[in-house]
Amino acid sequence: MASMYLPHLAYLRAVIEHGSFAAAARVCGVSQPAVSHGMRMLQARFDAPLLVREGRRRVPTELALRVAAESRPLAEGIEALVPGGQGRHPAAPGCCAPA
């Protein structure tokens, strides 16, 4: 079974918000291959597609939207425990601001 890490969930939220792996990588401060790897890991974990390609954009499936919505409060709760840490880690909500 594939692993799931908080940064992977943050990358998913960023791809949904910004429409591409490259844009998500810039916002999260990681490489585009790191975002691609995270998306592969999540898709393996859920055994279902999370993003579909439409031209140059990545469009979320219904499952991706649900995963993103459920993961945001978790990231916000963890970030609240870190003094002055907002946006310092890709798992932080600041990686991909709310739409």
Residue closest to 93 by CA, chosen among 24, 10, 31: 10
- First-to-last CA distance in the chain? 31
Inside any domain, residue 1: no
Inside any domain, residue 20: yes
CATH of the domain at 64: 1.10.10.10
Inside any domain, residue 55: yes
- Helical H runs in 1-99? 6-18, 21-28, 32-46, 62-80
Per-residue model confidence as pLDDT tens digits over 52-91: 999 888 999 999 999 999 999 988 888 888 887 655 455 5
Predicted local distance difference test score (pLDDT) of residue 97: 44
Q: Which domain holds residue 43?
A: 6-95
The total number of structural domains in the chain stands at 1
pTM of this structure: 0.79
CA distance 24 to 87: 14
CA distance 73 to 56: 29
CA distance 56 to 2: 27
Inside any domain, residue 71: yes
- Mean pLDDT value of segment 18-23: 95
